[in-house]
Structure formats: C-alpha cells, structure tokens
Amino acid sequence: MRFVRNNKLLSFAIVLVASQVLLALLAPWLGFQDPYNQVMVQRMKSPNTLNLLGTDHLGRDVLARIVHGYRTSLFSSGLAVAFSLLVGGTLGILSAYYRGWFDRIVMRLMDILFAFPIMLLAIAVIAIIGPSQWGAAIAIAIVYIPIFARLLRGPSLVICESEYVLSAKAIGAGDGRIVFLHILPNLASVILVQSSLLLSAAILVEASLSFLGLGAQPPVPSLGLALSEGRNFLLLSPWPAVFSGFAILFLSFGFNLLGDAVRDTLDPRLRSHNTIN
Amino acid sequence: MTSRQFFNRLLDLLIVLFGVSIIVFLIIRLIPGDAVAIMLGANTEITDVGLAELKARLGLDQPMIVQYWHWIGNAVTGDFGESIWTGRPVISEIAANMWPTIELTLLATLLGAGLSVPIGCFMAQTRGSASEVTVRMFAIAGLTIPSFWLGIVSIFLVAKFLPGTSMLGYVPFTEDPIENLQRMILPVIALALPMLANLSRLIRSAMLDALNQDYIRTAKAKGAGRRRIVYKHALRNALIPFITSVGVSTGYLLGGSIVIEQVFAIPGLGRLVLGAIAERNYPLVQATVLVMTTAFVLVNFIVDLLYAIIDPRIRTGAHGAAT
C-alpha cells in the first residue's frame, strides 16, 4: 500500500516538476508574448483574455514574464547546484576516500564556509563579484559547496569501509576505478535526492537575491525581481506580485516534493526530515 | 561534558572564527580591480591624492599579514574603523541597527520553536495514512513558500482590509511597546513560518521514533499515564535533535531577516549591509558580515553546550562524544 501511495506522490511530483521545466525550456517556441514588449496603454491590467495573468506596471504580459522568469531562475539555481555538486561532492568523496590530513583540512575549510548564514555569505560573495544572474549562480554555488561535501562524505565513508571496496583494493584496483566504479554508483540515490532538495532551496535563495536587487537585473524577466517591482504597485494591481510569488512557490515546492518522494521510493530507511537554512 | 571535551569544542570554535575572519578580511581584497577606486568612484571624482589617502586610511598600502593583524586586532576590541561616507565609527552604526534584527530573530525563534512543539506532538499522536500525506504537503509548502512574498501579500491584505494600520518601519520597544509589537507581528510571522514547518515536522518524526523505543514500553508497563509518557519520556528525547535544529535555524533567521527587513522597511542589520553594498562601503559590509556570522557561530556553540544539560549521556561521556 505504502509503495503505491508513494508512487502516486512521486508521479505527482514528477508531473509538477517536468511541466514547469519543460515550460521554461520551450518558452521561446510556445507562442507566449514577448516578455520585453511594453504596451504603455495596457499597464497594470487585471487578468483578461489577451493577457491571461494581466500586465505589469510597464504593460508587459505577466504570463510571458513568469515563463521566462522560470528560465532565469532555473538557469541560476541549476547552474549553482550542478557546480557545487561537482566541487563539493568531489571534495566530500575524496575526503572519505583518502582520510588523514587531506580529510581534516578539507573538512575544516568546509566547517568555516558552513559557519556563515547562507544568505549572508551569498550576499558577501555578490558584494565581491557584482550583481547579475551569473553572480547569483556563483554565490549560491559557493554557499552550497560545503553542504554537498558534508552530505556526500558521510555515505562515502560507509561505502569505503564496505567489503566490496576493500576487496577491490585487495585485487589492486586503482583509486580512479574504485571512486568511479564502486563509490559513485552507490551514491547515486543520495545525490539525486539531495540535488533535488537543494535545488528547491536554491530557487528560493535566487528569488530572494533578485528580490534584493542582487541577482538578475532589469529588464531581464525574473520572478524575484517581479516581486520587488510589483510590490510598489500592490494596491493598484496586485497581480504581478501575486502570480510571481505563486510561480516561485510551485517551482520550489515541486523540486522539494520530488526529492522527498524519490527518497521514500528508493530507500525508506533514509527517511528523515527535510532541512533548510 | 568533561573539561577536555569542553576545551576541544572551544578550540574548534576558535579555529572556525579565525577562518571566518580571514574570509571576511579578504572580501575587500578580492574585489576585481581597485576596490578603493570603486569606493571613491561611487560618490566623488577620483584623484590620485584621494586614492592614496583612502588607501592609507584603510591600511591597504601595507603587506597583507600586517593588514590582517591590524584589522583583527582592532576588530576584537570592537573597532572596525570609520564608515567611509558618514565618518561615524562603524561599530556605532552596527549598534544602532542591531536591536531590530535581534528582536525580529528572537521573536521569530520563540514563535517558530514554541508552536512547533505542541503541533509536532499533536501530529505524532494523530498519525494515519491520510494525515501523513497532508502533514507532509503542509510541511513542504511551509518550507518552500517565499517568506518575503508572504510578507508582501500580508501587507497588501492588511492595507486593503484594515486601512490605516501602521505595519511598516520600526518603533523601539522602549519608546512604545505596543506600537513596537504591533509592527513586529507581520514580519515575525513571515519569518517564522518556514522554521515552524521545519521544526514541527522534525518534532513529529523524533516523537514517533522516541515512542517506539523500549523505555516507552517499560514506562507503559509500569503504568505511567499517556500524558506522562508523551511529555516526560518521549518529548525529552525528541528535544535533542530539536535543539540543534533551533540553533541551525538562527542562521536561516539572520539571513531571512535581511530580506524581511527590506520588505517591512525595518532599519536592522540586513538593511545596513544592503545599503553598505549599494554605496560600496566595504568596511561596513565586512563588519556587519563578521558580527552576524560570529553571533550565529556563538549561538551554535551555546546550543552545543546546552546538549550536555539535556542529555546526561553527553555530560558524563557515557555514550562517547556525540557530536
């Protein structure tokens, strides 16, 4: 029974994520309006047949801005998660594999990066490299490196102690072969689950950064930016702010649910609560 | 906790703080191009004399190690230099903006952590297949709802349906406690909701774990009442992961307050650091980041020590050093 229920949840999560990701990927070819096109006579319209979600303070189509905003959001957060997985994950696996002084030094460095509140470190990084979509991506990537390193080091330690790794070593397999053929495949489920959960959180961080003016810059369509622009015209027209907020929520919710459901399906023992910070 | 364990933790703390200080120190030096020219360029015309003067004032004309030594030596005594534009000591700018952030974080912790215990216990006791999915959906929604959006929507709703209510800005508690709390309501709720979702879910699963343990069966066999079993035996054990999470959440709250302060126009540390970035006042950026991070690290250090009080196994070292 539980298996079926979990799979229902999983299929719901997959549909939710896939539809939003596809919408973002295919946005330029799906016949949406031009997200940059300003129609001054059509400013701050409520939802209508021409503009399904209304227009913003510059007369741009909110639906088109949101769909293209998905692209901006997924670009920054996806790039950040991929990069931090690559760097942090590698550091975590190698720390577990080599142990000793390498492990101690790397993990100390990770402790230090981990000591910063996430948003604060991201903001400090952007203070250095300047605000942009890329800036947000790099900032989030740096913040997530210690998280991935810690998340993958634990399970890697267990795998390194396992009999199949010991026997691989005994028959003289090289380091590269052991890491890629024996350790990495066994980490696949952890990587899948955590990437999805962290992507969900990264989407929120990216939205916060662009809300603060530290991410994508106008006139790039961005969900966080739309919220900060929309908030100045709330009483005249709440729609851009309301719909952009829902878009961020659905996107982040989808990935979080996906990570959660995948974890249950692949390995119910891994079941623990979700963390944010 | 043995004194040896205590000193090990203290050593860890000092190493982390040392590393943090180096990273913060490097912020100004990692800026591509000439940071000093960028700082000057934001407000005035650049002259060679002005450049050299500011460089000397910031000590940037000396070797790195000397610079760090001066900077950290001054920082531990609370001297972060003077704000470039206002000429006021950086530390007094921080002191002036500190209280709203402290109040916001403290109230959000009280609300989030306080409510999560009864909610989590309730959820653990009423578990069933239908409620399990609902609980999970609500918890994930609580985690993924953008708190600044929640803030904006709540401002809109209050402005629309309760016109004339003052909800933006900050009034010091000492000036007008009622006005102060009234303006804190919306930002605190917006900030606390994700924490509440996270912690209630944690309490729920920790309670379910605890209720399955042998000592609960023993307590039942001895005829202990349901209330006593839940609150005295299970909850006390469930509180251990809970307290770490509350400590870690302070980091989330400090970060979240940066955004929430912006939404509700609260003059706290978040607004200070954002303003400092906008006007390229890097010494102020450094000082604010250092102060907030140190606060976060210290809170977690204290949480670590609190463990020992709650969990006698750690105090006596009976179960090894659980970290």
A91-127 confidence digits (pLDDT tens) = 999 999 999 999 999 999 999 999 999 999 999 999 8
Tell me the pLDDT of chain B averaged across its residues.
Answer: 83
Listed range (A141-145, B70-74, B94-98) with the worst mean pLDDT:
B70-74
Asked if omega into B118 is within 30° of 0 (cis), the reply is: no
Max mean pLDDT range (B35-44, B79-88, B250-259): B250-259
Alpha-carbon Rg for chain B, nearest whole angstrom, is 24
Reported confidence tier of residue B216, pLDDT bands at 50, 70, 90: confident
Cβ A84 vs Cβ A141: under 8 Å: yes
Two tokens, residue B215: 């000592």
Q: Is A133 on the interface with B (CB under 8 A)?
A: no
Position with higher pLDDT, A173 vs B237: A173
Cβ-based burial of B130 (10 A; exposed 0-12, middle 13-18, buried ≥19): exposed
Closest Cβ opposite residue A212 in set B140, B144, B274: B274
Question: Each residue of B28-41: pLDDT tens digit?
Answer: 788 876 667 777 66
Asked if B141's CB is within 8 angstroms of A227's CB, the reply is no
**SS3 at position B184:** helix
Q: For residues B252 and B89, what is the distance between their CA atoms, to the nearest angstrom?
A: 28
Non-local CB neighbours of A66 within 8 Å, separated by 6+ positions: A53, A221, A223, A226, A243, A244, A247
Contact B296 A113 (CB under 8 A): no
Question: pLDDT at residue B226 above 80?
Answer: no
Distances (CA, A) of B283 to A95, B61, B90, B266: 35, 16, 8, 22
B293 contacts on A by Cβ (under 8 Å):
115-117, 120
Per-residue model confidence (pLDDT) at position B209: 82
Question: Which pLDDT belongs to residue A249?
Answer: 95
CB-CB under 8 Å, A245 with B149? yes
CA distances (Å), origin B98, targets A171, B104, B268, B288? 61, 10, 6, 10
Q: Are A35 and A64 in contact (CB under 8 A)?
A: yes
- Higher-confidence residue of A42 and A77: namely A77
Q: Does pLDDT of B318 surpass 80? A: no
DSSP E strand boundaries for chain A: none
The whole model's pTM is what? 0.89
What does the DSSP assignment read for B101-121?
Answer: HHHHHHHHHHHHHHHHHHHHH
| Band of pLDDT at residue B211, cut at 50, 70 and 90 | confident
Share of chain A above pLDDT 70, in %: 94
Q: Which residue has the higher pLDDT, B200 or A277?
A: B200
Q: Of B151, B182, B150, B165, nearest to B261 (Cα)?
A: B151
What would the mean pLDDT of B134-158 be, rounded to a whole number? 88
To probe the interface with B, which of A203, A208, A253 has the most B CB atoms within 10 Å? Answer: A208
Give the residue, B81 or A267, on which the prediction is more confident. B81
Confidence category of residue A135, pLDDT binned at 50, 70, 90: very high
Which burial class, exposed, middle or buried, applies to B134 when counting CB atoms under 10 A from its CB (0-12, 13-18, 19+)?
exposed
Q: Please write the tens of the pLDDT for every residue from A201-237.
A: 999 999 999 999 999 898 889 999 999 988 888 888 8
Contact B292 A126 (CB under 8 A): no
Cα angle for residues A179, A180, A184 (degrees, 5° grid):
80
> Assign residue B102 a region: left if phi > 0, alpha if psi is -120 to 50, beta otherwise?
alpha
Residues of chain B in contact with residue A238, where contact means CB-CB under 8 angstroms, are 156
Cα distance between residue B148 and residue B159, in whole Å: 16
Residue B305 confidence (pLDDT): 84
Considering only CB atoms, which chain A residues are within 8 Å of B274?
123, 212
| Nearest-neighbour CA in chain A from B303: distance (Å) | 14
* Separation CA A36–CA A27 (nearest Å): 14
State how far residue B288 is from chain A, nearest Cα, in angstroms: 10
Instruction: Evaluate if residue B291 carries a pLDDT over 90.
Output: yes
As a whole number of angstroms, the distance between CA A155 and CA A93 comes to 9
Per-residue pLDDT averaged across B122-133, rounded?
72
Q: Please, what is the angle between helix B282-310 and helix B3-30, to 10°?
A: 160
Q: Can you name the residues that pair with A11 across neighbouring β-strands?
A: none
Phi, psi of A106 (to 5 degrees): -60, -45
**Tokens encoding B202:** 């944690």
Helix segments in A115-132, DSSP class H: 118-129
Q: What share of chain A is helix, strand, coil (3-state, %, to 5)?
A: 75, 0, 25
CA atoms of B243 and B134, how far apart (whole Å): 25
ipTM attached to this prediction:
0.86
Please indicate whether, in this complex, the C-beta atoms of B19 and A234 are within 8 angstroms of each other.
Answer: no
A 202-221 residues inside an 8 A Cβ radius of B = 204, 207-208, 211-212, 214
pLDDT at B270: 92
Is A127 close to B282, i.e. CB distance below 8 A?
yes
Mean residue pLDDT of chain A comes to 88
Query: What percent of chain B lies above the pLDDT cut of 70?
Result: 91
CB contact under 8 A, B16 and A212: no
Would you state the structure tokens that stand for residue B142, as one six-digit string?
């609580």
The SS3 of residue B89 is strand
Query: Which chain B residues are within 8 Å of A231, Cβ to Cβ?
Result: 152, 155, 263
Range of lowest pLDDT (A59-73, A245-259, B116-130, B173-187)? B116-130
Cβ pair A120:B255 closer than 8 A = yes
